[in-house]
Every structure is written in C-alpha cells, then in structure tokens.
Structure 1
C-alpha cells in the first residue's frame, strides 16, 4: 500500500511539474530564467487589481515575456543593481482572454469592488471612452510590461506619486499633481528603460514597450503558467 501511495505522489508531482513548465511559443521565455533576481507581484493572478478578482488566463504567478524584450530588460536590472535598486514587475505578457475579462467587467456597471483604491474619481461607464479599457492590449503581443523600481536592501518601492493601475491624471507621466521627488523617481525609471530600448506610455508611468518588438501584429492567447 505504501509503495502504491508513493508511486501516486510521484505521478502527481510529475504532472504538476509538466503543467508548470509549459512549452512556450517560439521567441518567449520565463523572465526569471533570464533575470533570476527580478521582483514579481503579478497583480492579475491575485485579487489585488482594479477588477478585484483573479483574471482569466493567469494560472500561475510567473512572468512570461518575449525573449528579445527580456534580454533588454536584463540590462536595465543590471544597471539598477549597481545603484542598489531592482525592478518589480506587475504584469508582462497578458493573454487576450484576460483583455476580454477586462471588457466584460467594464460593462458590468454595478461591479465596483475595487473602485475606492483604483478609480475613486471616475464613473466606471467612462473607462472605455477615457482609454483605460480597450479591445486589445500591447501586453498580448508579448513585449509590453508594467513595472516600478524597488530598493535592493528591503525591496521597498520608490514613491512614484500614484499606485500601479490607478485610473486618473495623477498616473500620467507629466502630471503636475506630484512632488519633485516623485517626479525624479518616474524620470529615473523612464530614462533607464529608454536607454535600453523601451518606450513609455504618457498616461501610465509604469507602462513600457520594447521599441523593436518582435510580434507587432500578433496578439497571443496562451495561458500564463
């Protein structure tokens, strides 16, 4: 009986391992395989996001991204490490099914579970018109990322003036609603990302895309696991 139970657990472990190590499409990598020390807070795998629930397509708290973008990001991480800092990533590759989840949520006007934290000053009915929710996302092309900077010693986030995924003008890079120190931190993030081949998005200080992204017209839908 003990032998049978042992073999059973070996089988379950092997299946779990296989599940956790899916074969990624050509040109994609697990970010931690290339940048082991990077910090990860995959918000859409958890309920700590503007929807307030785990998002479709996020089956494991791992970062998947295009290999080209990850290689460029490794240079950013190395430079920050030399200054006593590191990157913290909130989202990288995003399946198209997750974008569809956002769209369904946006149409459910009475579902405002996370309004107080993420969009306290906005009417949910205006999220499409204001561009916070869209039919497609650059994240699904595999080379767009949401991230910030943390200290190496205690992994504390630098003060950027607004939280990740906050819907409002204060999240715009050039907002006048933040102080000089917060502006300096945003400028540090933007400048070091640009130095290594990324471009920012004016309305979201945390959002960057590899300039020479390899899949400019392809929107992927494989799960994150």
Structure 2
C-alpha cells in the first residue's frame, strides 16, 4: 500500500468515526426522555407514611394492563401539593387513619393510552368491574375519558382513606372474576380502604362525591376525606370522590410527559 493510499484510508476512517459519533449523539438526543422541573418530588420523600397503591403501574385498572409512562409504582407531585398532602396526613393520623394514593402525576403518554383504549370499542376486557352500566361509546361524551388530564400538571391526585392499622390489599390476579365497582364492599375487589360506596375509578354516577344514594358510613367516609383536604387547599372533582387538585397549581396550563420514574426527578430528590 502506498503512502497516499494509507493517508486516504486514514482520512476515511476518521470521517467514519466522526459520522458514527454524530449519529450516536443525534440518536441520544432523539431518545432522551423529558425530565421533571425541579419542584416536582417523590411523595415518599415528603411523607413516607402515606400508602401508595399505584394502580396504573399494574393491570388492575380499566385498561387491563400497565399504562404507558408508568416505569415505577411511584407517586410524583409538585412540592406544594406533596407538602399539603403531608399536612392532611398529619390530621388523619391523629384520628387513626392514613391516606392512600392510587395515582398522582400522570404523563401525557398515559392519557394518550387511555384515549386509544377508549376508541377501541372491541376491548371490553374490564367492563364488568369498572364500567358495567356505561356503553363504551359514551366514555368521551360522559366525561370519563378526555384528551387532557389535570393529573399531567402535577398537582392532582387520586386517593382514599385507610383505617389503621392498615391491612395489605391482596394482589390482583389478571383474569380473575370481576365484580361491579359499585357492589357491596364485601363483594367487590378487596381494598384496605374504608368503604366509599364504590371502588376507585368506578365509571358510574354513584362515584359522584355527594350522590344522594350514598348514605350512612359510606357518606361519612367521603366527607372525612373531603373536609380534611378542602381545609388545606384541595378542590374535589364532583364526579369522582377520589379526585383532588391542590390550588393554586404551580403549572395550571402545562401538561408534562416525563415518565413516572425516579430517573425523571433531579438527583436532589
């Protein structure tokens, strides 16, 4: 091989290496996951006593599978919302109760997953438990599914109350017989929550917080959650007894899409 040939080959090798590096960095930029702003925190770092049963990380939800974007069973919230939830927990602990969250920050990709599921009218796998009386064609019109969710802004959570000492909830077994979410507590899927009249994510008017058909201890349990949280700056969604938003929201107009994962948070968390 001549000196000139060796030089040409050397140049080609260098160029190929540069192209490979450039392609790799471009791919890395294209696949880099978005991160949470610095004022988003893992709830457990603010209050480790609040129970977490993150339903969308599991197949026990109305979709019937783990939802897109839930990489870990983790509650993430804006710091003001997490600190207000800690204050609520302090009040409830004195009364012999603990809070339990089912969902907190929800990435936009998860909301998109809900929309795709709702548009697939052939997928009725979880109907018998979560929406037995609602035709799936009505989910958008009736407000059960939407293309945007306040959860994606970081200050909304789905939660309930558990009587202490808390008993563990048994694992859900995919394919097990389903019972309507509004069935008596002893019949529907066992949850260590106090009896709220329906299960979590029950697509039914009985889930409306102040539905007049919900009376007695069930109503008292809903009102305990409602009065405790509303006294600390939370606002309830009237159609869902479990749904609360802390006000004022730090990000009232921003819908985030970072994954539910410790890696989405800064190292300080």
Q: TM-score, normalised by structure 2?
A: 0.74
Unaligned runs of 5+ residues in structure 1 are 1-21
Match of 1:144 in 2: 156
Match of 1:27 in 2: 39
Match of 1:173 in 2: 209
The one of 207, 216, 220 equivalent to 2:243 is 207
d(CA) in 2 for partners of 1:151, 1:180? 17
Give RMSD over aligned pairs: 1.1
d(CA) in 2 for partners of 1:85, 1:173? 20
| SS in structure 2 at match of 1:72 | helix
| SS in structure 2 at match of 1:209 | strand
Following TM superposition, by how much is the alpha carbon of 1:152 offset from its aligned partner in structure 2, in angstroms?
2.0
| More deviation, 174-183/186-195 | 174-183
Q: TM-score, normalised by structure 1?
A: 0.89
Match of 1:121 in 2: 133
Following TM superposition, by how much is the alpha carbon of 1:179 offset from its aligned partner in structure 2, in angstroms?
2.5
Do structure 1's residue 87 and structure 2's residue 78 form an aligned pair? no
| SS in structure 1 at match of 2:161 | strand
Match of 2:77 in 1: 65
Match of 1:78 in 2: 90
Match of 1:16 in 2: none
| More deviation, 178-187/111-120 | 178-187
Q: Would the aligned equivalents of 2:154 and 2:251 in 1 still touch at CA under 8 Å?
A: yes
d(CA) in 2 for partners of 1:93, 1:202? 19
Q: 4+ residue stretches of structure 1 with deviation over 6 A?
A: none
| SS in structure 2 at match of 1:205 | coil
Following TM superposition, by how much is the alpha carbon of 1:176 offset from its aligned partner in structure 2, in angstroms?
2.2
Following TM superposition, by how much is the alpha carbon of 1:151 offset from its aligned partner in structure 2, in angstroms?
1.2
Unaligned runs of 5+ residues in structure 2 are 1-33, 168-191, 262-269
Do structure 1's residue 222 and structure 2's residue 222 form an aligned pair? no
Q: In structure 2, do the counterparts of structure 1 residues 35 and 23 end up closer, same or farther at CA, with 3 Å as the change threshold?
A: farther
The size of the alignment, in residue pairs, is 204
d(CA) in 2 for partners of 1:196, 1:175? 23
Match of 1:7 in 2: none
Match of 2:24 in 1: none
Following TM superposition, by how much is the alpha carbon of 1:157 offset from its aligned partner in structure 2, in angstroms?
1.0
Following TM superposition, by how much is the alpha carbon of 1:23 offset from its aligned partner in structure 2, in angstroms?
6.4
Do structure 1's residue 53 and structure 2's residue 31 form an aligned pair? no
Do structure 1's residue 37 and structure 2's residue 49 form an aligned pair? yes
Following TM superposition, by how much is the alpha carbon of 1:174 offset from its aligned partner in structure 2, in angstroms?
1.5
The one of 149, 154, 176 equivalent to 2:166 is 154
Following TM superposition, by how much is the alpha carbon of 1:24 offset from its aligned partner in structure 2, in angstroms?
3.8
d(CA) in 2 for partners of 1:179, 1:72? 28
d(CA) in 1 for partners of 2:35, 2:128? 39
Q: In structure 2, do the counterparts of structure 1 residues 125 and 23 end up closer, same or farther at CA, with 3 Å as the change threshold?
A: closer
Q: Would the aligned equivalents of 2:35 and 2:258 in 1 still touch at CA under 8 Å?
A: no
Larger-Rg structure: 2
The superposition leaves residues 167-204 of structure 1 with CA deviations (integer Å, 9 ceiling, x where unpaired) of 01100011122231101110000000001110001000
d(CA) in 1 for partners of 2:166, 2:44? 19
